[in-house]
A and B are shown apart, each in its own frame.
Chain A
Amino acid sequence: MRFNDAITGAVLVVFAVAEIAYTRTFPSLHGQAYGPDLFPMLIGVGLFGCGCVLILRGLLARREQRMESGGQASASWLDLSNVAESSNARLNAALVVLFLVLYIVLSDFIGFIPISFITISTLLYRLGSSLISSCVIAIIATAVIQFLFAKILLVPLPAGWMQGLVW
């Protein structure tokens, strides 16, 4: 998923302006000319500058592209050539992010074991394993992780639904 440099540049410029505006609200140190706002402000200025150059570069590249194609084809703002054509692959990537969000939101309530089993088995199945092997691998992997982290390293993985059942 490749954006034209002008787009990334514009995002950076907007971010930098917002960041600098926010740093203005920081209190200054009593009797000091430099406070907690100095360093983030310098970063903001740097990002702003880089963003402007990127916008310029992106626009120049677009113009060149258009000149090469004789003004026919419109140069694209977004290039998807290195992302798989199939909506399948895109769905898989979305699933990875979705499962992470699910873990963040629901792990306390559902518990580690069910959520880990659902995540691993679904992704395995989506990525090409058979249904049975997906489930078997997911059970084994979940058990190993639970044992390794909860039993040996004593990480308090959320128990959730399995409260009282987890060994």
Chain B
Amino acid sequence: MDVILQAFALVLDPAVLGVMLLAAIFGLFVGAIPGLTATMATALLVPFTFFMDPVPAIACIVTTVAMAIFAGDIPGALLRIPGTPASAAYCDEAYALTRKGKAELALGTSLVCAVIGGVIGSAVLALTAPMLAEFAIKFSSYEYFWLACLGLSCAVIVSTGSTLKGVVSLLIGLFISTIGIDITAGHPRFTFGSVEMMGGISFIPAMIGMFAISEVIRFTVSTDPKPSVVQQPIKRVFNGIGSTLKSYKLNVFRGGVIGAVVGVLPGAGADIAAWIAYAVSKRFSKKREKYGTGHVEGLVDAGTANNAGLAGAWVPALVFGIPGDSITAIVIGVLYMKGMNPGPTVFMSQPELIYAVFIAFFIANLALLPLGFLAIRLSRLILRVPRHVLIPIILMFCIVGSFAINNTVFGVTIMLVMGVLAYFMEENGFPVAPTILGIVLGTMLEDNFMSSMIKADGDLMGFFSRPIAATLGVLVILLWLVPLCRALFRVISRQRT
């Protein structure tokens, strides 16, 4: 109890609340502008969190992301352009509602469901993470090795497009993580004599490059025409929400649970949660034919799921240090920077910080209701902000942000290289998320792999010598077999025809 009170004191500090409010405004703004994603918002925030204490830093990220994921629904409903990838699943549905003149209903439902989903996700996080942590304290390098494999494999399998390209993307990330002094022998790898490369590729400039610079480049060469905002009064956002929620209360619950569970899975985050929840909703609905024509039911499921998934993704991140999605990948980087190394021990040594994170989640999601309402009311104004004015300013913020991490231009170089790389990767159908997870998890994977190999003296059966490790190992191998079987099946069926 003492710990919880301490945690409350940490979060309810006026300075922290002030930071959260600013972060909320920032998150709503970035989320609502198409092309600027929640992940990009987080990447841009990191240089600022660098200069904060752990609690405001984490609270700031939590708030920004919760707001941005909801705000992504606004351009989805009004322009048919999802503001963030997590809104893509039901963007057409929301826009169809708007075309019917029901923009208020679409946005109101999105908002209320986002709040409920966020609270469900926060509750799942607060309840499961400490339990898992107690369990995880017994894990050895074998379990951690398999867990890291599980997270990376999930990230590849759920990534959009071809699995093969996902694997390539992951391997690129893992390769980047090997640059610098190696952990077992202290030998500099791939540094080519550069002293700055010895410390490895700084994670934050890499992140800013992959999520912000690539977006800047894409904007400058893109052929997309300028979207026009739907002219429709958006005032009484909460009208009829009560009856909608009443008739779909099962959907709200189901969406929340699906979101939280998908979020907890390492490697899958809010956007996957929304797609799955939408598909499940359609599959079990009595009015399946109405989906896609402006039917609010799918919106309820998926709108709840993505915000629930957001909090769920923090479970593996906090307990094992394995990110659930690219946002928590950034968060893990920040946690390390703050000396709050994720893992079961932080639950024992600094429980007040962990509880403070939970409380920040609840506050951020509850604050979403009034702030999100405000954002909807101001949506027309926000959507009118010309993106071509923002892009150069964002570029400058990126430069200064990656400079500020080590106060050298080497950070800017990393950002540039990674930005160009991410641009070419995405253009050619290579998903970027596995690279990020590879960079974040690479060191942990190699560390545990090497110590397991040395412990088992090269005997690969050693990786299956403990019950949990064996279970995880079998699970990972089964997971690897899925795409292989799929490919084999495709080849066989093609030969038959």
Residues of A within 8 A of B (CB): 1-3, 5, 8, 12, 19, 22-23, 26-27, 29, 32-36, 38-40, 43-44, 46-47, 50-51, 53-54, 57, 82-85, 89-90, 92-93, 95-97, 99-101, 103-104, 107-108, 112, 116, 119-120, 123-124, 127-129, 137-138, 141-142, 145, 149, 153-157
* B450 CB contacts on chain A under 8 angstroms: 34, 38-39
Does the CB pair B167–A46 fall under 8 Å? yes
Does the CB pair B223–A84 fall under 8 Å? yes
Task: Give A137's nearest chain B residue, CB to CB.
Answer: B389
Q: A33-B458, A47-B168, A97-B420 are in contact. List 7 more A-B contacts (CB 8 A).
A: A5-B428, A36-B184, A38-B450, A39-B174, A46-B167, A129-B388, A153-B47
Does the CB pair A12–B392 fall under 8 Å? no
Does the CB pair B412–A100 fall under 8 Å? yes
B48 near A: Cβ within 8 Å? yes
With A53-B164, A97-B416, A145-B397 as contacts: A35 and B184 at CB distance below 8 Å: yes
B285 near A: Cβ within 8 Å? no
Does the CB pair A145–B409 fall under 8 Å? no
B243 near A: Cβ within 8 Å? no
Does the CB pair A96–B178 fall under 8 Å? no
Does the CB pair A82–B223 fall under 8 Å? yes
Does the CB pair B409–A104 fall under 8 Å? yes
Does the CB pair B412–A34 fall under 8 Å? no
Which of A12, A26, A47, A53 makes the CB contact (< 8 A) with B187? A26
Does the CB pair A127–B388 fall under 8 Å? yes
* A96 CB contacts on chain B under 8 angstroms: 213, 216-217, 220, 395
**Can you offer 25 A-B residue contacts whose CB atoms are under 8 A?**
A1-B427, A12-B168, A23-B189, A32-B454, A39-B450, A40-B190, A43-B171, A43-B174, A43-B178, A47-B168, A50-B171, A54-B168, A82-B427, A92-B220, A92-B221, A96-B213, A96-B217, A96-B220, A96-B395, A100-B399, A104-B416, A119-B399, A123-B391, A127-B388, A153-B50
Shortest beta-carbon distance from B67 to chain A in Å: 21
* B185 CB contacts on chain A under 8 angstroms: 26-27, 29, 35-36
CA separation between A108 and B412, bound complex, in Å? 13
Main secondary structure on B side of the interface with A: helix
CA separation between A48 and B409, bound complex, in Å? 33
B280 near A: Cβ within 8 Å? no
Main secondary structure on A side of the interface with B: helix
CA separation between A115 and B47, bound complex, in Å? 20
Within 8 A of A (CB), among B174-229: 174-175, 178, 182, 184-185, 187, 189-190, 213, 216-217, 220-223
* B50 CB contacts on chain A under 8 angstroms: 153
Task: Give A51's nearest chain B residue, CB to CB.
Answer: B168
* B389 CB contacts on chain A under 8 angstroms: 124, 127, 129, 137
Task: Give B412's nearest chain A residue, CB to CB.
Answer: A104
Does the CB pair B416–A100 fall under 8 Å? yes
B404 near A: Cβ within 8 Å? yes
Which of A27, A39, A57, A99 makes the CB contact (< 8 A) with B178? A39
Does the CB pair B392–A127 fall under 8 Å? yes
* A145 CB contacts on chain B under 8 angstroms: 396-397, 400
Does the CB pair A104–B413 fall under 8 Å? yes
Does the CB pair B187–A97 fall under 8 Å? no
Does the CB pair A50–B393 fall under 8 Å? no
CA separation between A149 and B413, bound complex, in Å? 19
* A156 CB contacts on chain B under 8 angstroms: 407
- Encode B378-414 as 1/0 by CB contact (under 8 A) with A: 0000000000110111011101100110010100110
CA separation between A89 and B225, bound complex, in Å? 13
With A34-B450, A47-B171, A84-B222 as contacts: A149 and B427 at CB distance below 8 Å: no
Shortest beta-carbon distance from A122 to chain B in Å: 8
Does the CB pair B175–A26 fall under 8 Å? no
B51 near A: Cβ within 8 Å? yes
Shortest beta-carbon distance from B189 to chain A in Å: 6
Does the CB pair B190–A128 fall under 8 Å? no
- Encode B154-173 as 1/0 by CB contact (under 8 A) with A: 00000000001101100110
B424 near A: Cβ within 8 Å? yes
